[in-house]
Amino acid sequence: MKSKNVWVVIPAYNEITTIAEVIRDVTASGYRVVVVDDASKDGTSIAAQQKGAAVVVHPVNLGQGAALQTGIDYALICNAEYIVTYDADGQHRVSDIAVLLAALNEHNADIALGSRFLGKAVDMHWSRRCLLRCSGWLSRMTTGLVLSDTQNGLRAITAQAARTIRIRQNRFAHALEIIAQISSHHLRYVEVPVTVVYTSYSRSKGQSVWSSLPIMADLFLGKLDKW
């Protein structure tokens, strides 16, 4: 597939430390980039524009799920054939984008989900590993899908599937919402080994175990809206 048909969606909130390098790496590989600045206060959007990314700015902070949906909508308006979601904190490897896109074609899939547990998770804290395992169990209980990594921000989606999925959970729960919609819409999916590299910076930006517990409890008890 041609890289010009691929849009990489990067949700960002106060990512001035890493956003320029992340955009540089992605655009150097020939992909188009849209950064959704979720009401940052540190100049993230200016840095992204200077590196040549398209930028959409939320006037108020809505959360990563909302930023992803905004970026996906933008990419579809720009006639993207494939959309890749990509974190702004520098923990993904740009070389994995091509691997995900190849997997879509090889498996005739609608969505390719990156998995750090099938690939590599460098310097991941044990508490994060436990949280991700719990999330996988909850996903299995609520959707019936058995996945090794339900919270990976690196995904590749066909345009048709992107039009089918609508993200309504703005924050932590959006990743499980996507998986639930894969199940409910009977989308074809494949898990793909990728590398996630944890740094002190990316760890500071991530969801904490304690702040995740109330949301995970809601998911288990079925209090969140049905997907």
How many residues are there in the chain? 227
Beta pairing class for 111-122 and 54-57: unpaired
Region 101-118: what's the mean pLDDT? Answer: 96
More confident: 173 or 129 = 173
**Is 77:45 a contact under the CB 8 Å cutoff?**
no
The domains located in the chain, with CATH, are 3-221 (3.90.550.10)
| Backbone φ and ψ of 107, nearest 5° | -105, 5
Could you report the per-residue pLDDT of 18-30, keeping only the tens digit for each?
Answer: 999 999 999 999 9
Sign for the CA dihedral angle at 57, 83, 23, 123 comes to: positive
**Is 35:54 a contact under the CB 8 Å cutoff?**
yes
Given a cut of 50, whether residue 17 has pLDDT beyond it is yes
**Is 51:25 a contact under the CB 8 Å cutoff?**
no
Lowest mean pLDDT among 26-35, 162-171, 203-212: 203-212
**Is 192:113 a contact under the CB 8 Å cutoff?**
yes
Residue 112 C-alpha from the chain's centroid: 11
Which amino acid is residue 226, in one-letter code?
A: K
Q: Smallest Cα–Cα separation from 8: which of 21, 27, 19?
A: 27
Give helix 209-221 / helix 126-143 axis angle, nearest 10°. 10
